Amino acid sequence: MNQPAAMGDFLRKRRASLAPSDVGLMDYGTRRVPGLRREEVAMMAGMSVTYYARLEQGQDVNASDSVINSLSRALALTEVERKHLSDLSGIRRQTTKSARSRPDHVRPGTKRLIESMHTVPAVVLGKRTEVLAWNAAGHGLVAPHLDFESPEAPSLRPNMTRMLFLDGPTRSLYPHWRSEAGRAVASLRLLSGRFADDTDLAALVGELTLKSPEFAVMWSEHPVANCMTGHKTMHHPDLGILELGFEVLTVPDDSGHRILTYTAEPGSSSAGALARLG
């Protein structure tokens, strides 16, 4: 993935999304182009307009920590967005050489853990949002139309983001599909910055951009979010409407593995439905 270009795109999108009043500047009426001017961002970040323009044009990488922090303050970035900008800048990246990634595998201990969670649907995701493993309840909740053993074979392995955009049964699970899709794209953007040299991740983005106009539009807006907890409404083909909370537990190593779990309020109809899944 072209990191300088991605960094420039991110800066342009964030600059265009801000009004002068958002960052404490005087607004002197309607602007020909929405958002802040380059000169205003450069001034607030304490750098020359020429240097900032080079960043937006994708001509500069390996910006220093102080540059990233200054830009983050000028553009009112969240901590998640600041980290994403840092990833895109190339800071502390030891190599820019891309290599074909080897298929990932779930750790045996992680698999035993989710298998012991009988009434809690759980899915182990790799860094490309591919399904490395799921327990019976997780499979029954998110992909009952697929073979339970499919995560075992890399060539057949489901991918949660791909299914959300390209798989009809998965799309039908979400009554509020656009909100779910937006969250998935924002999370994938974060991963693309963190694992910039992963060619399989770049290939996934390319595939979805070509096959899904909806994905292409959402991706072009460059959203970024670390979706670790929240609420999902699902319309399950057998269980009906489910109101669920989700939590993402990150494995504490550099594998990028995450455990996605679903829970429901005790005593609710959704909780009873999850118990039947298990």
What is the pLDDT at residue 92?
52
Rg (CA), the chain: 21
What is the pLDDT at residue 200?
85
Q: How confident is the model at residue 148 (pLDDT cuts 50, 70, 90)?
A: very high
Domains plus CATH for the chain?
A: 3-89 (1.10.260.40), 108-277 (3.30.450.180)
Above pLDDT 70, what percent of the chain? 91
What is the pLDDT at residue 154?
87
What is the pLDDT at residue 136?
96
Of the chain, the end-to-end C-alpha distance in Å amounts to 40
Mean pLDDT in residue range 242-255:
92
Mean pLDDT in residue range 195-211:
86
In degrees, rounded to 5, the angle at the alpha carbon of residue 37 between the alpha carbons of residues 32 and 43 is 155
Above pLDDT 90, what percent of the chain? 49
Whether residue 275 contacts residue 117, with contact meaning beta carbons closer than 8 Å, is answered with: no
Q: How far apart are CA 272 and CA 134, in angstroms?
A: 20
- DSSP code for 261: E
Q: Quick one: how far is CA 109 from the chain centroid?
A: 25
Q: How far apart are CA 82 and CA 239, in angstroms?
A: 41
What is the pLDDT at residue 4?
81
Q: How far apart are CA 10 and CA 24, in angstroms?
A: 21
Burial (0-12, 13-18, 19+ Cβ within 10 Å), 277: buried
What is the pLDDT at residue 60?
63
Count of CB atoms situated within 10 Å of the CB of 145: 10
Edge-first strand order for the sheet with 229-236 is 131-134, 122-125, 258-263, 240-250, 229-236
| Residues 167-176 pLDDT 10s | 999 999 999 9
